Amino acid sequence: MRTGFYLAPNVDEALENVEVSGNDSAEIFLHGLCAVFGLALHQRFGYPIEYLVDSYGEDSSMDSLIHAYCFDPDSELYVDVRGATESEDECFSEFEDFFTDGEVFGAPAEKMATWVKNQMGEKAFQQYLTSAMGLINQHPEYYSQF
């Protein structure tokens, strides 16, 4: 099963054509602010947040984050800004050039939110969280109702 932007012929191009905030496209929630989008999904649908880190080194903290996303345990789908997919490989293939050997961890939403706010500041966090929620509200079928 695949939903949302995963169905586009070119996912990156489809995301780049969706304006979410100022000069930013939805692509920013795939590369750069994926954790913010994961938090928005968690807030809206209650999905658990997971994150992929490069386990090549010894650091498995969020500081070595490759990608944050949600995993819906009921449907067994990986959900991020692209939509939903049942394939872990498809979810992670976008990031193959960024890690040697990945490891997945769960993240309590409060811990993820604190980490993101420390990285970008409260004001920017709230701005992008609002933008992420706006995109989710425009296309809830991409991210739920499986």
pLDDT of residue 63: 63
Mean pLDDT of 12-17: 97
Tell me the Ramachandran region of residue 76: left when phi exceeds 0, alpha when psi lies from -120 to 50, beta otherwise. Answer: left
pLDDT tier for residue 113 given thresholds of 50, 70 and 90: very high
Rounded mean pLDDT of the chain? 91
Contact status, residue 46 vs residue 85, Cβ threshold 8 Å: no
Residue 58: per-residue pLDDT: 55
Q: Where are the domains of the chain?
A: 25-143
| Residue 76 C-beta-side C-alpha neighbours within 13 Å | 4
Q: What is the pLDDT of residues 54-106, one digit of tens each?
A: 766 555 566 678 899 999 999 999 999 999 999 999 999 999 887 767 778 89
Is residue 26 within 8 Å of residue 45, measured between CB atoms? no
- Amino acid 19: pLDDT: 94
Task: Give the span between the Cα atoms of 66 and 51, in whole angstroms.
Answer: 7
